[in-house]
Structure 1
């Protein structure tokens, strides 16, 4: 009788790599920063606040388009209309489903005021 290995976890894998870079598209922009985020049974990774980031991903059920504008401008901070695009990418697996996502903010201020905490690194 062949041996069967038990699954490592009862939770679907959720492991992501997030990057930011200055430019309009990830294909033409070198990443300026990259972090890892693991959201399985416990949270971990090099993201500055993995618990908050994973919580936000749970709140939007992994819908990264909703995540990109989750906060609105709750800081009340005014941003200039300056166009200095910053692109955020997310690649990996969320609850067992492959993720390949890209979102461009008009400038770093808008990324920080409108982007979710998941994008704050």
Structure 2
């Protein structure tokens, strides 16, 4: 990803009312130009598992953080594998949920919500899904590192 910084002449900035006269005479126009703090777009996520029907009202049981750039880190138990999995599915979280899970679960309704919020490669993400109970969640997420924490 390439970012281009646009520079504006001091005279044009004064004409637009952006710079003060002292900034023009001291050359402070360049000092005020924001510089990137990293070569990587931010990728910081918070993943939660909670009891309830939706992420907004669920009682959070577990929460972990995951940072994928510049290196995998956070409180997630397997940050490297989780970041690799997230890259492989291009942050399409639904692709990580098995539609036909292998396993036998009761039909008990005791909803569990898994949610992901934060920033992935510089873009805001918010995703959640609800499972009928913990057994169906575990069966649907059996293969994969990202949502198993």
For the aligned pair, the TM-score class normalised by the smaller chain equals 0.7 to 0.9
8 Å CA contact 1:26–1:87 kept in 2: the answer is: yes
Q: After TM superposition, which residue ranges in structure 1, 4 or more long, deviate above 4 angstroms? A: none
| Deviation sequence 1:49-75 (CA, Å, 0-9, x none) | 1111111111100111212339x64xx
- Residue 82, structure 1, aligned to residue 111, structure 2: no
Unaligned runs of 5+ in 1: none
Unaligned runs of 5+ in 2: 1-26
Shift of 1:12: 1.1
**TM-score, L = length of structure 1:** 0.84
**TM-score, L = length of structure 2:** 0.70
Shift of 1:5: 5.7
Q: Give distance in 2, aligned partners of 1:14 and 1:68.
A: 21
Secondary structure of the 1:48 match is coil
- Residue 120, structure 1, aligned to residue 148, structure 2: yes
Q: Give distance in 1, aligned partners of 2:111 and 2:122.
A: 31
* Equivalent residue number for residue 7 of structure 2: none
Q: 1:19 aligns with which of 48, 56, 60?
A: 48
| Paired positions, count | 118
Q: Which has the higher contact order (CA 8 A, sep 6+)?
A: 1
Shift of 1:6: 4.3
Of Structure 1 and Structure 2, which has the larger fraction of its residues in strand? 1
Shift of 1:95: 0.5
* Equivalent residue number for residue 60 of structure 1: 89
Task: Provide the alpha-carbon RMSD of the alignment.
Answer: 2.0
